[in-house]
Amino acid sequence: MIQRPRDRALILCIVLCLLIATALRSGATPARAAAPPFRAPVDGKPGPESWFVGQWYGNTVWSHDNPYATGQGLHFGVDFNTPCGTPVLAIGDGTVFAVDGPYGSAPHAVVIAHADGIFSLYGHLQERAKLTPGQLVHAGDQIALSGDPAGRCDLDPHLHLEIRRAEMRETVNPVPLLNIDWQHATAGIRRNGTTFVRDLDNPDRWVAIAAQPDVVFGGVRLNDYTRSWP
Ligand SMILES: [Zn+2]
Task: Give distance in angstroms: CA of 204 to centre of ligand 1.
Answer: 23
Indicate the domain borders of the chain. Answer: 52-223
| Residue-wise pLDDT tens digits, 99-158 | 998 998 999 999 999 999 999 999 999 999 999 999 999 999 999 999 999 888 998 999
- pLDDT tens digits for 172-208? 999 999 999 999 999 999 999 999 999 999 999 999 9
User: What value, to the nearest 5°, has the Cα angle with vertex 83 and ends 110 and 75?
Assistant: 55
The domain 52-223 having CATH identifier 3.20.20.80: the answer here is no
The CA distance from 195 to 183, in Å, is 14
List beta partners, residue 78.
161
Taking the centre of ligand 1 as the mean of its atom positions, its distance from the CA of residue 122, in whole angstroms, is 10
In angstroms, what is the C-alpha Rg of the chain?
Answer: 23
Q: Compute, in angstroms, the gap from residue 68 CA to the centroid of ligand 1.
A: 10
Model-level pTM greater than 0.95? no
pLDDT score recorded for residue 6: 65
User: Helix, strand or coil for residue 213?
Assistant: coil
Mean pLDDT on 41-70: 92
* Beta-bridge mates of residue 87: 145
What stretches of 84-213 adopt beta strand conformation (E)? 87-89, 94-99, 110-113, 119-123, 136-137, 142-145, 158-165, 170-172, 198-199
Of 44, 68, 63, 82, which Cα lies nearest the Cα of 160? 82
